Structure 1
């Protein structure tokens, strides 16, 4: 069984897919927003985009799935 350290060492993507699945979209959205995902950096950069930070509402609108 992998732990986070071993998963990083082995670049075990499936470990992180499973973690994300178990967290669910609401918790992923909450934590990524705390780290600034989906927001501009506030630095004057040409053509900077905030990007997409998926949420339950975004998923419903884009993929028509709850």
Structure 2
């Protein structure tokens, strides 16, 4: 799991790389983060101003 602080850092690095001329795909590839994951983080950040992991914890009571 990637912590919210690290997600924000990754988003900033991707933005910086794109501003410097890198492609979105290449920036994600270098950080080893799937493009869909980055899009989800960006949507989540815009909608809630937070990047906490919203997945259910595995092994939880059901």
Q: TM-score, normalised by structure 1?
A: 0.27
Tell me which structure has the larger Cα radius of gyration: 1
**TM-score normalised over the length of structure 2:** 0.28
Higher helix residue share: 2
Higher relative contact order (CA 8 A, sep 6+): 2
